[in-house]
Structure 1
């Protein structure tokens, strides 16, 4: 190889006058220069190799992560929840899609506009005003001077959102989100509860069954190509799976509404503090109705006092009074302390341990049998009967029945009752005496209806509950079979039920007499205690009914707290509510008459007695 070392003039050719030819002389390149070029090239290639190794081996994971972040779109779950339905499949709670409308004025354009043309906020406001039902001036004021990220409206329903889409305006963005809706309003609020604005469960089943009500949703990572095309890889197995499960209640919306209306009317009429009505299937413990007043609308929970968000019939304790007398008589029969055909002497008053005990009217009834004890609601007669049961055995039965333990239930917040200690019960005669007529201990209305269900089903203690579990699609769960722990002999409970039937036929429960149907019951009017001290003039009125007596299936309990008026008794306040519920129950559950209609006396023939 030679280089161009220099130039010299070429000799003029003899055959071509006037033209000249250049002659180039090549000189050899020094070896040092070749080696230098070689070393420079080798160093460059070596550097590239080292850099490549560094990128692949050292920075590979970091760069891969950064690339995935650019290529992958992560879609977080919206937190959708499963619906809640009643025993007939009627919707009680569901998620509905709602939208938030965002505006980005720097991108405003109408369909058909030239590329690059930018519409003014006024142009957009003219079209949006009618769709959103908002004043145009307000929309312009919100958009004026803003470039992006302007929230124009929230809580838009799907129909309104579609009308916004149909406008085709560039620069408008609809963000979807689920919203919990309660179609029945306040009908089931006391047991279902609600979600707050951040979709956090705050009360009722929404809170206690929060995990069960959350739909199966997973975070999705969607990979996209260079042009934005979604790629199928990167999705884990099952990530697209969704379920159609619903939580089914045992409650019946029809019966719940009847109970709610009847209870609210009576509470208002008597200016009472509150009230509750429960209907239980005695065979399996299912609650068909649990109506409470006052209540609230879970769709607008922020308008109500937080004290309404708890179901007091499950959490608050009270003295059951005379409605507990049938339970005590069953205990005495089970202990063989009394004879079903026996009698007691009712003198109207007596003294126990220095404490006086009176009947509600302070009158004696003479020597009476046990059906009459219930009919006239004799406190003295009950004390005389329960005196034949040893105090330790009496306390043992109250403890065994679960007075002082939390009921086994799916109702949120259920509380245990209060029972004096065995030592106090054994050494202080006044304690078993007052317990004989349902005072001196506390329980919840839920616990009382559970114990009366035990009388109605032949002596089995069933677990009260309001859910049947999760079901798929439109499928509905059937009622569970009969269950429960056997505590009383069936013949004993049937004897007590027959006695309770006489209360409806001849005593203070006449207000629920329905021609052709055998119904048993017991009224109650108890003093109200607070912090161990009875409140002067404060009462809790109640009534419990069993039907039909020949084949008991349901127990109805109505409790009204602090009704006003001198004539406020279980027979005047609670019985009318129970009657309306029973009439609806007979129709809804298709319970046929058990005897000829003529055999039943008209309901208005006798005036209810006070108890």
Structure 2
């Protein structure tokens, strides 16, 4: 019996040993799972049921100087589906659950979203856990979809950019992409204020795809964008845009721009141009019309530069408002085969400095410019902002073209006196005349007035540093010299009852891409101010390549309308006779 008992004992020990060994394997594995590999397994399990969400920040608002909204983001909605769960479902109808087939659900979704049922069906087929069914839905559609309470549908708020005034200031405002990224204009310029910070959160869902209550975790708070206030006057901008659009149709011009500056501050009240762009429908405009030519397009400014030449001569020579010159119809350029002519044929004229500006004589300003050296004239062009970007620093803004003085040859020595051989933007020309209007103090233009963040903190955008570019008395004399254009010459048609005006017209040729000038193609311009004695506003007009009426006279009616409306809008009292009268001839 002893051997039998021994065998049983050995078998029992072997069984117990095996059981213990198996138990130890399970224990070790349990320890490994619960302690060693627990973080990884937990993360994997959480990943299988955790759903990350991005909470889109609402882009900030752009307003005009009076708080009128020019651009804003409004809530639109997007509905997305988990294709792996899409199918027959319980749907809430009048607060009661009903079992609907997938086809019934598709038909109802199509009815609410106004989308093709076939496209909705396609969006529900597949293995994606996130498939967009419809987007750009309004609040009413959101409420109807939400009432259905379909568990495998998610309805998300999505900011949508809208421009309530359409094309008003559209070239300034710019636009954004479908991904809410700024593409042009103020949208780019002020993006640091307008752009918010997206929020991040996540939640867990069960096997049925339903959000588990109480599992939402906010990882980053959403911060909406701020409000940008512009210096623009929306209503005045609208008025001017209507006027330049009418004028473009009449003249067949390639484009027209009109700028209104506050003479005392440099603030831009109007920066209108046509063709314009409606940021709500960017595709409806040509690509070349989607920027702002006021800041981005250059041309040879022509005769408005004569005022800068005159200012330099008045401060660095014996030239005064009634200095006497004999202006022939043409002058041969010494040492070259070239001859410079006036825009009209004439015998020698006895013109004063005032008459040279009034009649816009090239041969007259050549004699004035020869009174001073090129380095001085170059310095004055720079002082008046020619050859440099404005303080606005508009996206893709051009600095124009002003060659260094050591690059001037015998021809450019003269052509720079009357605005050829250099290039400027409309805003540069208007800004130059702001200095004349403001007693010689130039303040580079300002477009953005302030930024108010989401928490209500307002940060002012200061005006550029004022610079005394000419003496106050020089500026006053220049205004007196620029007044006869409107009292004795072609500007009579632009007179505004009760107000004195001062300004300078220009007609310049359009340069070709391969050198030389394009035949019969011109730029007509006018920079003027009112009231002339103590100007409040400067208006700059640029008419590019008109098909008819190619003289600067074509700027007068537009200047009248824009300046008159500006004065009325801003309640500027009538003012005349504040300046000395200078004789244009002798």
The TM-score, its normalising length taken from structure 2, stands at 0.85
Question: Are the counterparts in 1 of residues 124 and 133 from structure 2 also a CA contact under 8 Å?
Answer: no
Which shows bigger deviation, 487-496 or 341-350?
A: 341-350
The verdict on how the C-alpha distance between 1:65 and 1:142 changes in structure 2, with shifts beyond 3 A counting, is closer
Deviation at residue 360 of structure 1 after TM alignment: 1.7
The verdict on how the C-alpha distance between 1:333 and 1:240 changes in structure 2, with shifts beyond 3 A counting, is same
Deviation at residue 351 of structure 1 after TM alignment: 1.6
The verdict on how the C-alpha distance between 1:283 and 1:42 changes in structure 2, with shifts beyond 3 A counting, is farther
2:67 paired with 1:84: no
Which residue of structure 2 aligns with residue 47 of structure 1? 25
Which residue of structure 1 aligns with residue 99 of structure 2? 117
Deviation at residue 223 of structure 1 after TM alignment: 6.1
2:371 paired with 1:391: no
2:301 paired with 1:320: yes
The Cα offsets for residues 472-518 of structure 1, whole Å up to 9 and x where unpaired, read as 47898878567322222222112111211222222222233212222
2:364 paired with 1:381: yes
Deviation at residue 68 of structure 1 after TM alignment: 3.6
Q: How does 1:216-231 map to 2 (within 5 A)?
A: 216-222=197-203, 228-231=211-214
Which residue of structure 1 aligns with residue 345 of structure 2? 362
**Equivalent in 191, 194, 198 of residue 179 of structure 2:** 198
Rounded to whole Å, the distance in 2 between the matches of 1:338 and 1:397 is 16
Query: Counterpart of 2:93 in 1: which secondary structure?
Result: coil
Deviation at residue 219 of structure 1 after TM alignment: 1.9
Number of residue pairs aligned between Structure 1 and Structure 2: 563
Query: Counterpart of 1:577 in 2: which secondary structure?
Result: helix
Query: Counterpart of 1:550 in 2: which secondary structure?
Result: coil
**Equivalent in 476, 481, 490 of residue 472 of structure 2:** 490
Which residue of structure 2 aligns with residue 215 of structure 1? 196
Q: How does 1:266-345 map to 2 (within 5 A)?
A: 266-345=247-326
The verdict on how the C-alpha distance between 1:506 and 1:482 changes in structure 2, with shifts beyond 3 A counting, is farther
Query: Counterpart of 1:201 in 2: which secondary structure?
Result: coil
Rounded to whole Å, the distance in 1 between the matches of 2:193 and 2:117 is 42
Query: Counterpart of 1:117 in 2: which secondary structure?
Result: strand
Rounded to whole Å, the distance in 1 between the matches of 2:405 and 2:560 is 39
Rounded to whole Å, the distance in 2 between the matches of 1:78 and 1:360 is 60
Question: Are the counterparts in 2 of residues 110 and 170 from structure 1 also a CA contact under 8 Å?
Answer: no
The verdict on how the C-alpha distance between 1:145 and 1:130 changes in structure 2, with shifts beyond 3 A counting, is closer
Q: How does 1:247-266 map to 2 (within 5 A)?
A: 247-266=228-247
Question: Are the counterparts in 1 of residues 312 and 376 from structure 2 also a CA contact under 8 Å?
Answer: no
2:519 paired with 1:536: yes
Question: Are the counterparts in 2 of residues 509 and 522 from structure 1 also a CA contact under 8 Å?
Answer: no
Q: Which structure's CA Rg is the greater one?
A: 1
Query: Counterpart of 2:564 in 1: which secondary structure?
Result: helix
Deviation at residue 528 of structure 1 after TM alignment: 1.6
The TM-score, its normalising length taken from structure 1, stands at 0.82
The Cα offsets for residues 326-359 of structure 1, whole Å up to 9 and x where unpaired, read as 1221121222352344222222322222422222
Query: Counterpart of 1:219 in 2: which secondary structure?
Result: strand
Query: Counterpart of 1:330 in 2: which secondary structure?
Result: helix
Which residue of structure 2 aligns with residue 406 of structure 1? 389
The verdict on how the C-alpha distance between 1:166 and 1:245 changes in structure 2, with shifts beyond 3 A counting, is same
Deviation at residue 562 of structure 1 after TM alignment: 0.7
Which residue of structure 1 aligns with residue 569 of structure 2? 588
Query: Counterpart of 1:63 in 2: which secondary structure?
Result: helix
2:400 paired with 1:420: no
Q: How does 1:102-113 map to 2 (within 5 A)?
A: 104-107=86-89, 109=91, 111=93
Which residue of structure 2 aligns with residue 371 of structure 1? 354
Query: Counterpart of 2:199 in 1: which secondary structure?
Result: coil
Q: CA RMSD in A?
A: 3.5
Which residue of structure 2 aligns with residue 12 of structure 1? none
Which residue of structure 1 aligns with residue 484 of structure 2? 502
The verdict on how the C-alpha distance between 1:246 and 1:145 changes in structure 2, with shifts beyond 3 A counting, is closer
The verdict on how the C-alpha distance between 1:496 and 1:145 changes in structure 2, with shifts beyond 3 A counting, is closer
Rounded to whole Å, the distance in 2 between the matches of 1:81 and 1:533 is 47
The Cα offsets for residues 75-106 of structure 1, whole Å up to 9 and x where unpaired, read as 11335311211111111111122234457453
Deviation at residue 560 of structure 1 after TM alignment: 0.5
2:508 paired with 1:526: yes
**Equivalent in 432, 446, 450 of residue 451 of structure 1:** 432
Which shows bigger deviation, 174-183 or 149-158?
A: 149-158
Question: Are the counterparts in 2 of residues 105 and 147 from structure 1 also a CA contact under 8 Å?
Answer: no
